[in-house]
């Protein structure tokens, strides 16, 4: 995993107190993993599962921080209403995108390994064991700077969610000639 990249990401996010303890950060990630496992073994339709994945994102992720970071510098020119609209559309988009990825975990399991302090947050390492493939690492970055312990980034097989989404949102804005409302409409159509 490349934590050097996460250092740049973290420096762009307002810093406050770190999550209370490594144990509480692990507990949060265990709850996320348990909820994901419950959804993928529920037998629900894909649409219902995507709704449930969105609720996980709302419950356990620092949605506002993630959305602001993903919007990037262009977000500074957004009106307050555009930022609210973007956050709601992004929340659904990211939940659907990663929810589809988590569906690959059906029949597998995720084991929370360890939590360690890094700067002003905790890094919680997990190992995913999927049917028909070798184990791989999923890492969550957890802090309580929003007033509650939440994860604000995750790495799947070393892929940095925040950096990837910032690049993706920037590309969507470029395709729309910088038109924020058109990019938000595109996100809504993907979620």
> What pLDDT score does 5 carry?
41
Sorted by where each begins, the domain ranges of the chain are 19-190
Look at residue 104 and give its three-state secondary structure: helix
> What pLDDT score does 3 carry?
40
40 closest CA partner among 90, 136, 142, 110: 110
Q: Per residue in 133-184, pLDDT tens?
A: 889 999 999 999 888 999 999 998 889 999 999 999 999 999 999 999 999 9
> What pLDDT score does 189 carry?
92
Q: What is the CATH number of domain 19-190?
A: 3.10.450.710
Between CA 97 and CA 101 the distance in angstroms is 7
Q: Per residue in 6-29, pLDDT tens?
A: 444 444 444 444 447 999 999 999
Q: Per residue in 70-89, pLDDT tens?
A: 999 988 999 999 999 999 99
Look at residue 187 and give its three-state secondary structure: helix
Q: Per residue in 44-73, pLDDT tens?
A: 888 899 999 999 999 999 999 999 999 999
DSSP secondary structure code for residue 78 in this structure: S
Give the pairing type, strands 136-143 and 121-129. Answer: antiparallel
Global pTM reads 0.83
Q: 2 pLDDT exceeds 60?
A: no
* Residues in Cβ contact with 114 at an 8 Å cutoff, skipping those fewer than 6 apart: 22, 26, 124, 125
User: Can you list the positions of beta strands (E) in the chain?
Assistant: 109-118, 121-129, 136-143, 150-156, 159-160
Q: 102 pLDDT exceeds 80?
A: no
At 43, the pLDDT band (50, 70, 90 cuts) reads confident
> What pLDDT score does 134 carry?
86
Phi, psi (rounded to 5 degrees) for 131? -65, 135
6 closest CA partner among 164, 171, 172: 164
């Amino acid at each position: 995993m490349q934590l050097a990249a996460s250092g740049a990401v973290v420096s762009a996010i307002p810093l406050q107190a770190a999550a209370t303890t490594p144990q509480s950060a692990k507990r949060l990630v265990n709850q996320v993993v348990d909820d994901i496992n419950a959804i993928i073994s529920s037998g629900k339709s894909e649409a219902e599962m995507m709704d449930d994945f969105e609720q996980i994102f709302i419950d356990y992720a620092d949605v506002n921080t993630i959305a602001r970071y993903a919007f990037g510098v262009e977000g500074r020119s957004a009106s307050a209403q555009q930022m609210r609209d973007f956050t709601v559309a992004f929340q659904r988009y990211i939940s659907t995108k990663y929810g589809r990825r988590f569906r690959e975990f059906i029949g597998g399991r995720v084991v929370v390994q360890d939590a360690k302090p890094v700067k002003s947050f905790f890094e919680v390492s997990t190992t995913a064991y999927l049917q028909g493939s070798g184990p791989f690492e999923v890492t969550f970055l957890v802090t309580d700077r929003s007033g509650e312990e939440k994860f604000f980034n995750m790495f799947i097989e070393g892929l940095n969610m925040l950096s990837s989404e910032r690049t993706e949102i920037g590309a969507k804005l470029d395709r729309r000639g910088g038109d924020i409302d058109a990019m938000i409409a595109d996100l809504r159509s993907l979620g």
